[in-house]
Structure 1
Amino acid sequence: MPFRTTLIVLFDLVTAAVAWSLGFMLRFNFEWPAGYELKFSVSLLVLLVVHAAACRWAGLYRGMWVFASLPDLKRVLKAVGVSAVALLVMLAVDRTLPGIPRSMVILYPLLLITIMGGGRATWRMWKEHRLYGDLRAAGKPVVVVGAGTGGAMLVRELERSPDWRVVALVDDNTAKQGLELYGCLVAGGIDALPQVLQDFKAQHVILAMPSAAGDALRRAADLAVRAGAHTFTVPGLEDLMSGKVAINAMRPVEIEDLLGREAVSIDSAHVHSMVGGKTVLVTGAGGSIGSELCRQLAKFAPARLVLVEASEFVLYTIEQWFANHQPDIAIVPLAGDVKDAQRLDEIFAQWQPALVFHAAAYKHVPLMEVGNAWQAVRNNVFGTLQVAQCAQRHGAERFVLVSTDKAVNPTNVMGATKRLAEMVCEALHSQGGTTQFGMVRFGNVLGSTGSVIPKFQEQIARGGPVTVTHPEITRYFMSIPEAAQLVLQAASMGRGGEIFVLDMGDPVRIVDLARNMIRLSGYAEEEIRIEFSGLRPGEKLYEELLTDAEQTRETPHPKLRIARSRPVAPDFLSVLGAWLDTCGPVADEAVRQGLLRWVPEYVPMQGRPALKVVAGALTDSDVRRA
């Protein structure tokens, strides 16, 4: 028998002896009665044998005291019940005098339960205090919404976490308000959440209402957000308690957490030597990528940032951001269209930028596919040509084109125009000169304009359904700051003419992304259903980062690779220029035929019927047909 088990057996035997002795003392008012010595000893010996067998039969030695709970109490009751039956038998068959006091039938089992159960409970409390007692004051104060079964399980589990300290709960059940749950006060209803956060000086909220209606969850989340709290959800308490999900799986509903991407690290010194003290021009400076590029560039002490943007509103937005957050950075907000050669010449002549980051582009695939194809060519190709030639004429040191994975084996107008823009930069670089041209290609960025994430968030907020185009569609994702930082890293490493490919990690199935967002928002898939609407014009199931004809090589940065594409024909720019000078409008089909001439790997997608079904209703044949 293991040493620990031996100690527990001895404890239970000693407990039986103490309970028997104490019962006699209570019966006779703590005065030992004369003549009971033999009866006391013989009865105790019999009870010890029976009690030892009963404890083993009840399974008391399979449980761990540090986790003693209701199942262990049930085992104690079973063992005590057997001992009580043995005592009744002894009373029935014993005819000798003096007899065993009949009050021992009550006193002995009660004392035995008290000492055996209390001993195990005391050990657990002492052990938990020793292991976790100091942690309770160390974690971040958090308010739990929901004082039901889910909330109780969560509070109990969080007591052992060094990261969290539950200071209060809120629940709309008035019968629970004012009571305590594991020592934590149920301080009021959900509507009182902002006041509770203020009273307890907490800035974190965990929603622990897995069975609550969607309206209640949304109301709690809205109150928490309006109060400035960081709101977390518990995706599945059953998984949490069973160990399938750890405590740290409780995360705020943030997009980066869904991808699990590691934080990017760049060679700051190298980037600083490229940017520091220089004038930097960013086109599309108010867009998702352009504005983040400006914020990242500001960290490396440029002499000034020239912000070129066609949209007045987003230009004003980024200008106000710098005024409020980094007023020490010299910025020049300029309204201008990248297709306007005269305006571009004016800007470059006045400010003489050393670095140019060209982020202006039309990026929305379905919109550019139907009715806007020629505008996509004008903006993405002609605009790139205008800005790149201006940079070359005015002696800029570097020109960096922000490209896309949709330029690889494109099936849509947007991707083909971005590939053509890459070829423009490659052709200009091959002409020689002082300007180094580089391209950076990456996939979808989270939270950008046109991104699927804000769309899903909006659909979830209004109760669904969440629409996904196809059950097997996949995309690469990265955060906007990560993309902007890697663009800067690639620019600082470039020697000219390279296409840098960012490590986008593993492709993510959009339907899985939708399911994760639904779960992390506090809903079940039964509450927010998923519908498949069919591929949109120009959309393909998966994106690629390299074409078959390209070769890649490693760079010093683990998240950057260099792709070398096929050479561009010597007369490429002159022939392309003639096509770009075509007066519009040009029909979509004519645009596609023109793009096929320049981008032979471009394969326009034909029209296809929409597939609109609810998730879970697809058969294997449906997926194959889609």
Structure 2
Amino acid sequence: MNKLSDGFRALYAGDNLLRITRVRYIPRWMVLFFDLGFVFFSVLISYYFLLKLNVKLNFQNLLPLKIFIVLCINLIFMFVFRTYAGIIRHSTFFDFFKILLSSGSSLITLSLLNYIFDLIQGRPLFLYPNIFLFFFVSVSFLFFFRMATKRFFNVLVDFTRAPSTLNVAVVGVEDVSVALARAIMHNPNYPYRLGGFVTNRTDSKRAVLLGHNIYSKNHFFNNPKILRNFDAVLIIKEIMSKKELEEWMNLSLDSGLKVLKAPTIGKMRDQDLVGGIRNLQIEDLLNRRPIKIENEEVKKRHFGKNVLITGGAGSIGSEIVRQVAEFNPATIVVLDQAESPLYDLELELLEKFPAQKFKFILADISNSYRLEKIFEEYSFSMVYHAAAYKHVPLIEDNPHEAVFVNILGTKNVASLSKKYKVNRFVMVSTDKAVNPTNVMGASKRAAELFVQSLQNTEGNTTKFITTRFGNVLGSNGSVIPHFKRQIQKGGPVTITHPDIIRYFMTIPEACELVLQAGTMGDGGEIYVFDMGDPVKIVDLARRMIKLSGYIPDEDIKITFIGLRPGEKLYEELISDNSTTVPTHTEKIMISKDYCEDFDMVNEHFVKIVRSAMKKDKNEVVGLLKSLVPEYISNNSEFEHLDKKNQTVSTIQLPDTIV
């Protein structure tokens, strides 16, 4: 009622059009009042036509009573079918159907009453043509009232939008596209105005949808007069293939239009659909179709169990925590040495999963005494080891730190998993561990060797699983956030080499595959993931610049700064002397890598750790190269160690390191 009074007061105010659009719905009694008025008017019109045709009416002296009877019968069926209950400005065919039911029932009732009156009085109370004429006129008026009101509000909404409103063309004429267009039309508070539809179809040139033109793709993008009327193209990503998405993006950007994306189809059920519209991001172009994992098997491994996630505050670890929480484990222990990210994650998870029991532990995995107390307290069924140092240039300058976390830390967590008979241990590795050219990749390969060799040791009951994949979109320190910051600053965008390529995967997809791989195999396997097609980084940068509304090499410069120490032009998921074996999950394969003897690997680990304590970089890297013989440094200060190895088959280990 307050909304309606606001609308009436607006008639006397200076901004009446703007205020009227804020009236969300008319009270039901007023809709009923209008409907009865149209019924009354329809009765008068039907009698008027009959009089003009010189038709003599029955019982003319009872005309007021006859009109009253018609109104009462219609009123009864309006209540029965609740024709007044819909929101007029959002009327649909369902509302028209209710009008037909109500008016049709009134027609049948009046005909039945007429028949009874005819039996009693010898002639009908109403002329039958009069009843049918009234039916058609009343239905027309009631439906026209709703359509006219709906159109009136739509025009007002468009007229009163802010000057900065974007005129958008919705891509597609499917049901989801029409639903999105309707939502835009009915939301005056958002900065979008529906201008029309664009489709691949060529049979809709003269068709109109929701009062707006439908343009074929070629006609739309090749006609400057049409393009001048639009500011953006709105895409529903889920109904397109990756190739189609790139085509629409390129056509739109080349035509000077912004590219917007709608929320996912699942979120289209929410009321705030229009508020979910965002600029298309580069992640949308790199993202692949959602994968289907065997949730039942994964759930069985976690439901009611205690689970440990190391590195749980990191980009990968935190997503593993979120996904594991969906399977209702008894306790999730989240362990990390980064205080602030761990605290932020705690606040998020306690709000999102109030019924789930969490334990957030600040600890360093290189401290075996601290870790053992945790393993003693909780009887873990699953351990996800995601803690690692991963930034290639930093680790190249500080190889001893990689030894403490990636090597010693992995040894501690894996050994304790064996000692306390954890059911499954899943390590998150990287494609940089394959034919490594840097300390980080070599340290992760060393960790893989230890985990693999531990599988076949005496008394072991734990299944040790290794998962290996490439770059993940949006992870801490990844290239995409870095490029975004550079573009926001006006450039230049810096790339190490014009030919460098990388594989990309979304964080949720990578973690789903980690959970799936953790349920597979007998232990000792290295699972590699299907990373899709590689992406050339310079092409990635150009797309991001275009999506930001700039022209590459004109508005934003691209500069090449040379490969960083230890960096490859391309990454691999399997080594040269390895093969892959398919699994029952399409996107997961087993890499058949060589496996070393545990005693040999453990002996190297002891020596490397002790060498790291002395912070002798060359000695640490030399020992690492002897453990991982395929580790050949690239663009690094440690290249001289490879030259030395060409004349000496193995590095002589100091006698003092035991």
TM (norm. structure 2) is 0.58
Q: Where does residue 589 of structure 1 map in the other structure?
A: 618
- Going from structure 1 to structure 2, the CA distance change for 1:147 and 1:565 (only over 3 Å counts) comes to same
Distance 2:507 2:328 in 1: 21
> Conserved in 1, the CA contact under 8 Å of 2:170 and 2:194?
no
Post-superposition Cα deviations, 1:195-219, rounded to whole Å, max 9, x if no partner, equal xxxxxxxxxxxxxxx9xxxxxx9xx
CA RMSD, Structure 1 to Structure 2 (Å): 3.6
Structure 1 segment 287-298 matched on structure 2, within 5 A: 287-298=314-325
Aligned partner of 1:478 among 481, 489, 505: 505
Q: Does 1:530 align with 2:558?
A: yes
- Going from structure 1 to structure 2, the CA distance change for 1:182 and 1:533 (only over 3 Å counts) comes to closer
Distance 2:576 2:194 in 1: 62
Give, in angstroms, the shift of residue 270 of structure 1: 0.8
Q: Where does residue 224 of structure 1 map in the other structure?
A: none
Moved more, 303-312 or 514-523: 514-523
- Going from structure 1 to structure 2, the CA distance change for 1:247 and 1:579 (only over 3 Å counts) comes to closer
Letter in 1 for 2:634: M
Q: Does 1:343 align with 2:379?
A: no
Letter in 2 for 1:553: V
Structure 1 segment 369-388 matched on structure 2, within 5 A: 369-370=396-397, 372-388=398-414
Distance 2:261 2:322 in 1: 34
Distance 2:494 2:389 in 1: 23
Distance 2:262 2:350 in 1: 37
State the SS of the aligned residue for 1:355. Answer: strand
Distance 1:443 1:599 in 2: 20
Structure 1 segment 402-421 matched on structure 2, within 5 A: 402-421=428-447
State the SS of the aligned residue for 2:389. Answer: coil
- Going from structure 1 to structure 2, the CA distance change for 1:156 and 1:331 (only over 3 Å counts) comes to closer
State the SS of the aligned residue for 1:281. Answer: strand
Percent pairwise identity:
44
Letter in 1 for 2:615: V
Q: Where does residue 604 of structure 1 map in the other structure?
A: 633
State the SS of the aligned residue for 1:541. Answer: coil
Moved more, 563-572 or 321-330: 563-572
Distance 2:351 2:545 in 1: 35
> Conserved in 1, the CA contact under 8 Å of 2:262 and 2:278?
yes
Give, in angstroms, the shift of residue 570 of structure 1: 4.7
Distance 2:385 2:551 in 1: 42
Post-superposition Cα deviations, 1:265-294, rounded to whole Å, max 9, x if no partner, equal 110001011111100001001011010000
Q: Where does residue 334 of structure 1 map in the other structure?
A: 361
Distance 1:307 1:502 in 2: 25
> Conserved in 2, the CA contact under 8 Å of 1:306 and 1:334?
yes
State the SS of the aligned residue for 2:572. Answer: coil
Give, in angstroms, the shift of residue 606 of structure 1: 3.1
Give, in angstroms, the shift of residue 318 of structure 1: 1.3
- Going from structure 1 to structure 2, the CA distance change for 1:157 and 1:338 (only over 3 Å counts) comes to closer
Aligned partner of 1:367 among 365, 387, 394: 394
Give, in angstroms, the shift of residue 484 of structure 1: 0.7
- Going from structure 1 to structure 2, the CA distance change for 1:182 and 1:327 (only over 3 Å counts) comes to closer
Give, in angstroms, the shift of residue 301 of structure 1: 1.0
Aligned partner of 1:276 among 289, 293, 303: 303
Give, in angstroms, the shift of residue 252 of structure 1: 3.1
Distance 2:550 2:254 in 1: 16
Give, in angstroms, the shift of residue 450 of structure 1: 1.2
Where structure 1 has 5 or more consecutive residues not aligned to the other structure, the ranges are 1-132, 171-176, 184-209, 211-216, 218-233, 609-626
> Conserved in 1, the CA contact under 8 Å of 2:457 and 2:598?
no
> Conserved in 1, the CA contact under 8 Å of 2:426 and 2:465?
yes
Q: Where does residue 335 of structure 2 map in the other structure?
A: 308
State the SS of the aligned residue for 2:519. Answer: helix
Give, in angstroms, the shift of residue 585 of structure 1: 3.0
Aligned partner of 2:606 among 578, 603, 611: 578
State the SS of the aligned residue for 1:307. Answer: strand
Aligned partner of 2:289 among 245, 259, 262: 262
State the SS of the aligned residue for 1:562. Answer: strand
> Conserved in 2, the CA contact under 8 Å of 1:373 and 1:591?
yes
Distance 2:283 2:549 in 1: 17
Aligned partner of 2:595 among 548, 555, 567: 567
Aligned partner of 2:526 among 499, 502, 514: 499
TM (norm. structure 1) is 0.60
Distance 1:381 1:158 in 2: 53
Distance 2:376 2:461 in 1: 17
Give, in angstroms, the shift of residue 493 of structure 1: 1.2
Q: Where does residue 181 of structure 2 map in the other structure?
A: 164
Distance 1:264 1:255 in 2: 20
Q: Does 1:390 align with 2:390?
A: no
Give, in angstroms, the shift of residue 590 of structure 1: 2.1
Letter in 1 for 2:630: E
Structure 1 segment 545-564 matched on structure 2, within 5 A: 545-564=573-592
- Going from structure 1 to structure 2, the CA distance change for 1:247 and 1:310 (only over 3 Å counts) comes to closer
Moved more, 158-167 or 281-290: 158-167
Return structure 1 stretches of 4+ with deviation > 6 angstroms: 143-148, 156-160, 180-183, 239-243, 245-251
Distance 2:373 2:252 in 1: 64
Distance 1:553 1:589 in 2: 37
Letter in 1 for 2:478: S
Q: Where does residue 43 of structure 1 map in the other structure?
A: none
- Going from structure 1 to structure 2, the CA distance change for 1:239 and 1:396 (only over 3 Å counts) comes to closer
State the SS of the aligned residue for 1:493. Answer: coil
Q: Does 1:429 align with 2:458?
A: no
Give, in angstroms, the shift of residue 182 of structure 1: 6.4
Distance 1:475 1:290 in 2: 22
- Going from structure 1 to structure 2, the CA distance change for 1:397 and 1:524 (only over 3 Å counts) comes to same
> Conserved in 2, the CA contact under 8 Å of 1:404 and 1:442?
yes
Structure 1 segment 441-452 matched on structure 2, within 5 A: 441-452=468-479
Give, in angstroms, the shift of residue 258 of structure 1: 2.2
Letter in 2 for 1:390: L
Distance 1:537 1:276 in 2: 44
Give, in angstroms, the shift of residue 447 of structure 1: 0.9
- Going from structure 1 to structure 2, the CA distance change for 1:570 and 1:355 (only over 3 Å counts) comes to closer
